[in-house]
Amino acid sequence: GLQQKVYDELSESLKNIGAKKGAAVAIDPRNGAVLALVSYPSYDDNLFSGGISQEGYNKIINDPSQPLFNRAISAKYPTGSTIKPFEASAALQENLISPDKQINDIGYILVKSQYDPSTVYKYGGIKAHGWVDMKKAIAVSSNIYFYTVGGGYGDQQGLGPTRIKKYLSLFGWDQKTGIDLPNEFSGFIPDPAWKKASKGQGWWDGDTYNLAIGQSDLQTTPLQVALAYSAIANGGTLYKPQIVNKIIDGTGPSAKTVQEFSPEIIRSGFIDPQNLQIVREGMRDGVTQPYGLSKYLNDLPVSVAAKTGTAEIGYQNRFNVWSSVFAPYDNPEIVLVVTVENVQGLGAVTLPVAHDVLQWYFSKK
């Protein structure tokens, strides 16, 4: 039922805005169980069960929207601001910044070239947010705060590319999750050595600032993002995702369990629980506070925490849009990540999907 609901809501949202492709993943953060795994557009499995006609097969494989391509586990996406809770976790773990320190978000930062001080680069946000601490910076998705934490600015030291990569790797963004499905993409986190080897170029401050807000050459899958948010939701454990619960032989009362699968931990304890709690509170403020970018979710029957993301994709006014949500806030049992490709403008695309799916999910319980 959840699988069908997620697919239907994602399909409706895409049709409403004229988008063609998207994906969604729902995970139980308590054990890594995959509750739903949706790639849009999809295809009818029944076409294959009795032997598909050549005409039917040609129609599927020649569809430019690639229905046979599993975007949930194989697509390569930049995350945009979806990265920010993980960056905040890293900064706290490294004792780089107090969560209470206020940074003045005036809408941009100005950075002098280290080679030519007369050249000044401007890195902007969507709008100025004024003074923000870590929790508010997560709730309003302040680019300026995370430029500062990621790349350093003024008197505030930044994580830098090596530490950003270290923590994103701990959250699983550059290795296959091991899900029991084929053709999973491993993810990719850029760093100075890679840029030198692949492009023959040095790593500039701008590369760090772009990485700090989930741009640059970063590539992840919706599944990796869902598992990483599960680790935030559950207090710091990264689970292996599992589709199969058990294998049984026979039906009805005579059915016998052949094999049962237990939860598998990839790693745990890499972020202190008190640091993750601050990040969770920032995501909760994103829903409950008037300034929060996810306040659309605040009328749900359970308390939720959320983070949105919008990633530039190289085309003017075109973006990949993300929403990442967990609920109930105090004892999470579902993490839902939704992404839509190639959206025109900065509209609310994925939040309505998350809202209506969670409304249905918790009304059924």
Average pLDDT over residues 169-192: 97
The reported pLDDT for the residue numbered 264 is 96
The reported pLDDT for the residue numbered 312 is 85
Q: When comparing pLDDT for 151 and 45, which is higher?
A: 151
The reported pLDDT for the residue numbered 346 is 64
The reported pLDDT for the residue numbered 221 is 97
| Closest C-alpha to 298, from 143, 141, 139 | 139
Q: When comparing pLDDT for 143 and 112, which is higher?
A: 143
The reported pLDDT for the residue numbered 84 is 98
| Predicted confidence (pLDDT) at residue 159 exceeds the cutoff of 70 | yes
Query: What are the two backbone dihedrals, phi and then psi, of residue 233, each rounded to the nearest 5 degrees?
Result: -65, -40
The reported pLDDT for the residue numbered 347 is 66
What does the pLDDT look like over 38-79, one tens digit per residue?
999 998 888 888 788 888 888 899 988 898 999 999 999 999
Of 185-189, 192-196, 313-317, where does mean pLDDT reach its minimum? Answer: 313-317
* pTM (two decimals): 0.95
Average pLDDT over residues 326-332: 98
Cis-peptide, bond into residue 253, ω within 30° of zero: no
Q: Are strands 305-312 and 237-239 parallel, antiparallel or unpaired?
A: unpaired
The reported pLDDT for the residue numbered 313 is 78
Where does residue 365 rank: exposed (0-12), middle (13-18), buried (19+ CB within 10 A)?
exposed
| Closest C-alpha to 234, from 181, 270, 260 | 270
What single string gives the DSSP state of each residue in 290-342?
TT-TTGGGTTSSS--EEEEEEEE-SSTTEEEEEEEEEESSSS--EEEEEEEEE
Q: pLDDT category, 315, cuts 50, 70, 90? A: confident
What percentage of the chain exceeds 90 in pLDDT?
Answer: 80
CA angle (92 as vertex; 87, 94 as ends), nearest 5:
95
Q: When comparing pLDDT for 15 and 346, which is higher?
A: 15
- 284 alpha carbon, distance to own chain's centre: 16
The reported pLDDT for the residue numbered 115 is 80
CA angle (220 as vertex; 216, 226 as ends), nearest 5:
130
Name residue 336's beta-bridge partners: 26, 325
| Predicted confidence (pLDDT) at residue 316 exceeds the cutoff of 80 | no
